[in-house]
């Protein structure tokens, strides 16, 4: 809720100590997306226009309107993500078009996000992966090309622009995002301004880039001298790269002049603002969410690769060992992690890299892989007043032991995707359910579940049917008195499916077979 102020404070320190425009120093933004800077440059936020222009600035709006040949642009900025879903939840927005993002996993206060999507009368989802958490709410699903299937440009954190070429064609009916948007815009244009067509007459991504670069002419990020051909010939270049330049600009403000009226830098003084949610006796831990080495964002892509689960196969809440001792918890024990907005049941991990009083939870797990709406069911929707970035890294939580005596472990090798969808639906009745992949040469789906009591035999039979453990060469063991049942399917002397219910002590050595 104070991220912009903290960034200003860091820049103030660099300015005061002369660490701007010099080699080996300077503030450097390591954002979560490789093209985060490129998105801001092109005006892809609700409050921005192309070329580092502000939607709230009348002069900036007039410049863009003149270039586009329209009378005027909207006089107020659009809504940020949190504000947008508040409006959907309240019924002020009746139609929603979602592209290149998965809000039913990534935004805070997931219970409210899911309620908003369920209430919205018409939801369009433009997506490359049909299994994301948001796709379940789509009234219209538009198949989109993924990163390696489209062409465009990317700007990294050092202002370096690359021409990204398509590696493979998109499958089936999937198309590049700009193709989809322009087709819709041309049809809308035919209704709104039939006498003046042509606003969206782009033949390819090159023509889009050429329009965008001209909108940067004379701006601080001037890249009017760039083209796909030049980038192909010289390689990635740093802006500014104005018309006539022979190379990019490696370092800004080396001459001590800044883009202000006086040419001098201006320090920004912001009063201290504490995080919105504080620890208290009921919620004594501060939850921080973050990244793992081998997963990416909401796992729509990395969640399909078994090898990438080898680092951490399921969501764990990491606590300092002292916090486990204080609560009489064991490493690996199932716990309930609860905030003021929701709760998750998941294993706890002793981790001395986490400070006492804090909890760490990977941000990647959503409702698709972990029952309970995922990690962002816990986070709060407070946001920075300037950037509108939600405060995902600071929430008050409590951790408590949970008694779920009945356990399930299942593993299956073949037809993983179809079995995943079927088993995920069946496991909704359990108090805890987690899904992951394992293996290198032989990928397998892993299912872990826990419940407060043994389920009925009919549910286990349906699970066994999905695992193909009802017929064929099956090894079976049952102890009805203790509600224990085990099934193993063999093919050519090799285990290809397992179901352990009631007692799952063999799960660890079974998983090792797929390491």
What is the tens place of the pLDDT at every residue in 401-424? Answer: 999 999 999 999 989 999 999 999
For 219-254, write each residue's pLDDT tens digit.
Answer: 999 999 999 999 999 999 999 999 999 999 999 999
CA distance 364 to 348: 16
Would you say residue 472 lies in a domain?
yes
CA distance 21 to 255: 8
* Percentage of the chain modeled with pLDDT above 70: 100
| Mean pLDDT taken over the chain | 94
Which CATH number belongs to the domain containing residue 500 in this structure? 3.30.70
Q: Rounded to the nearest 5°, which phi and psi values hold at 457? A: -60, -30
For 257-303, write each residue's pLDDT tens digit.
Answer: 998 999 999 999 999 999 999 999 999 999 999 999 999 899 999 99
Domain count for the chain, please give it.
1
Name 433's Cβ contacts closer than 8 Å, sequence gap at least 6: 370, 371, 424, 427, 447, 448, 449
Cα distances from 297 to residues 287, 291, 294, 487, in angstroms, run: 18, 8, 10, 35
- Residues 328 and 310 sit within 8 Å (Cβ to Cβ): no
Report pLDDT for 498.
96
Q: Rounded to the nearest 5°, which phi and psi values hold at 222? A: -45, 115
Buried b (16+ CB within 10 A) or exposed e, 384-394: beeebebbbeb
Would you say residue 180 lies in a domain?
no
Would you say residue 137 lies in a domain?
no
Would you say residue 505 lies in a domain?
yes
Would you say residue 423 lies in a domain?
yes
pLDDT at 213 over 80: yes
Would you say residue 451 lies in a domain?
yes
- Residue 455, domain extent: 406-512
CA 4 to chain centre: 21
pLDDT at 94 over 90: yes
Would you say residue 417 lies in a domain?
yes
Question: What are the helix and strand counts (H, E) for the chain?
Answer: 13, 20
pLDDT at 30 over 80: no
pLDDT at 87 over 90: yes
DSSP 372-426: TT-GGGSS---B-TTT--B-TT-EEEEEEE----EEEEEEE-SSHHHHHHHHHHH
Would you say residue 167 lies in a domain?
no
């Amino acid at each position: 809720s104070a991220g912009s102020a903290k960034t200003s404070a860091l820049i103030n320190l660099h300015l005061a100590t002369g660490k701007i425009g010099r080699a080996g120093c300077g503030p450097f933004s390591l954002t979560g997306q490789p093209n985060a800077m490129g998105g801001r440059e092109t005006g892809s936020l609700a409050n921005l226009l192309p070329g580092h222009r502000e939607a709230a600035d009348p002069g900036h709006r007039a410049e863009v309107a003149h270039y586009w040949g329209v009378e005027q642009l909207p006089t107020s900025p659009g809504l940020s993500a949190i504000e947008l879903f508040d409006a959907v939840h309240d019924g002020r927005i009746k139609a929603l078009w979602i592209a290149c993002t998965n809000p039913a996993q990534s935004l805070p206060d997931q219970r409210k996000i899911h309620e908003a999507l369920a209430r919205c009368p018409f939801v369009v989802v433009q997506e490359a992966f049909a299994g994301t958490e948001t796709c379940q709410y789509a009234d219209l699903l538009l198949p989109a090309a993924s990163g390696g299937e489209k062409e465009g440009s990317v700007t990294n954190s050092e202002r370096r622009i690359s021409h990204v070429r398509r590696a493979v064609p998109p499958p089936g009916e999937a198309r590049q995002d700009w193709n989809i948007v322009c087709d819709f815009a041309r049809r809308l244009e035919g209704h709104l301004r039939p006498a003046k067509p042509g606003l969206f007459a782009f033949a390819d991504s090159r023509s889009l880039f050429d329009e965008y670069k001209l909108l940067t002419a004379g701006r601080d990020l001037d890249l009017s001298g760039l083209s796909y051909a030049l980038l192909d010939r010289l390689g990635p270049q740093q802006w500014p790269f104005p018309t006539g330049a022979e190379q990019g600009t490696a370092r800004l403000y080396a001459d001590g002049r800044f883009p202000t009226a006086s040419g001098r830098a201006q320090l920004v003084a912001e009063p201290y603002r504490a995080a919105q949610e504080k620890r208290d006796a009921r919620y004594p831990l501060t939850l921080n969410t973050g990244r793992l080495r081998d997963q990416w964002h909401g796992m729509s892509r990395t969640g399909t690769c078994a090898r990438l689960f080898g680092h951490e196969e399921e969501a764990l809440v990491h606590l300092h060992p002292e916090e486990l001792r204080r609560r009489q918890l064991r490493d690996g024990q199932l716990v309930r992690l609860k905030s003021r907005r929701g709760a998750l049941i998941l294993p706890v991990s002793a981790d001395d890299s986490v400070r006492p009083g804090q909890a760490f939870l990977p941000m990647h797990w959503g409702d698709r892989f972990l029952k309970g709406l995922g990690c962002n069911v816990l986070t709060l929707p407070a946001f920075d007043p300037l950037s509108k970035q939600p405060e995902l890294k600071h929430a008050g939580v409590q951790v408590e032991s949970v008694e779920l005596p009945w356990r399930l472990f299942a593993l299956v090798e073949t037809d993983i995707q179809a079995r995943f969808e079927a088993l995920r639906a069946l496991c909704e009745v359990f108090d805890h359910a987690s899904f992951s992949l394992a293996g290198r040469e032989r990928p397998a789906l892993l299912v872990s579940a826990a419940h407060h009591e043994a389920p009925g035999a009919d549910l286990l039979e349906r699970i066994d049917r999905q695992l193909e453990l009802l017929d064929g060469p099956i090894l079976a063991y049952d102890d009805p008195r203790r509600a224990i049942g085990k099934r193993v399917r063999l093919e050519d002397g090799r285990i290809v499916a397992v179901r352990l219910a009631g007692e799952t002590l063999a799960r660890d050595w079974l998983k090792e077979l797929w390491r």
